Each structure stands twice: as structure tokens, then as C-alpha cells.
Amino acid sequence: LSESGVPQLVQPMIWDYAADLDVESKVHLVEKYKRCGFSKVWFASAFKGATGVNQSLTLIGHHLKNHLQWLKVARSSPAEFLEGIVLTGWQRYDHFSVLCELLPVAIPSLAVCLQALKNGGYSEKIKKDVEKLLGMSNLEIDTFMR
């Protein structure tokens, strides 16, 4: 890969939407890309649309856990090597599938995930800030929003 010249032309994106993504294996992958000569890498997470082809509602806790795992990967990787993280929000799994998790039901998840990334973690204060921002009285993380 190093000899191909590709590392001078692109920045790889490492995708994983799992709530329990393997931090150690992702850190090793980052190190491999660095050794190959890539200048930067990107991470890709999801704030919605990655938990089931016919999912209607967004389970915020799943996506929050994914982002907290990505933060661990970032902390264990060279800071200058990480270009950024892309928060994907899939609408369907393929062009033949029905739509899943429309954006309006996923806005609380997007807000929680962005705040977790911005603040380097999640806390009761961040939860209260998101509730205030969205005008909600009780943000449900581990159950579906009502």
C-alpha cells in the first residue's frame, strides 16, 4: 500500500456503528494506516439508521455508546493523525428497502451524540443541556422516546 502512492492521494475512513466497538482493534488499524504513510484518518459513526433495516425509532443509548467508544479510540491514537469524525444518519439500507428512522425522530440522538463528542463524554449535565436545548423534560437514553 505504501509503495502504491495511494496514501498521498486519500485519507481513509474507518467505519463502525457498534455500541461495543473494539477500541483496541481500531487503535491498531489507525497505527497500520499511519505506518503505511497516510497523513490523516477519519472515523465514521452513526446517530441513526444503523441498527435495523425496519427500525422506526432511534435508540439513543446505542448511538451514544458508539460515540463514547470512538472517543476512546481518539484518545488512544495520535491526535495529529485524526482529521475528524463523520456522524452518518442512514435513511435506508439499500434502494429497495423502506425508509427507516426518519430525521425528526432522530434529532435527540443527533444532539446527544454531538454534545458527547464536543464535551469528550456524557454526563447528567450534558443530558440536562440537551433537554433544555430541545425543549424536552425527560430525554430517554436507554428506551425509545415517547
Q: Is residue 25 part of a domain?
A: yes
Identify the CA nearest to 137 among candidates 127, 110, 47: 127
Q: What confidence tens digit (pLDDT) does each residue in 99-115 have?
A: 888 999 999 999 999 99
Q: Into how many domains does the chain fold?
A: 1
Write the CATH number for 19.
3.20.20.80
**Mean pLDDT, the chain, as a whole number?**
94
Q: Label residue 146 by pLDDT band (50, 70, 90).
A: low
| Residue 139 located in a structural domain | no
Q: Which domain holds residue 43?
A: 2-134
Considering the domain boundaries, does residue 59 fall inside one? Answer: yes
Q: For 42-52, what is each residue's pLDDT tens digit?
A: 999 999 998 88
Candidates 21, 33, 101, 100; CA nearest to 65 is 21
Q: What is the pLDDT of residue 142?
A: 85
Examine residue 145 and state whether it is found in any structural domain, yes or no: no
Does residue 146 form part of some domain?
A: no
Name the packing angle between helices 103-119 and 124-134 (round to 10°).
140
What's the pTM value of the predicted model, to 2 decimals? 0.92
144 within domain boundaries: no
Which amino acid would we find at residue 5? G
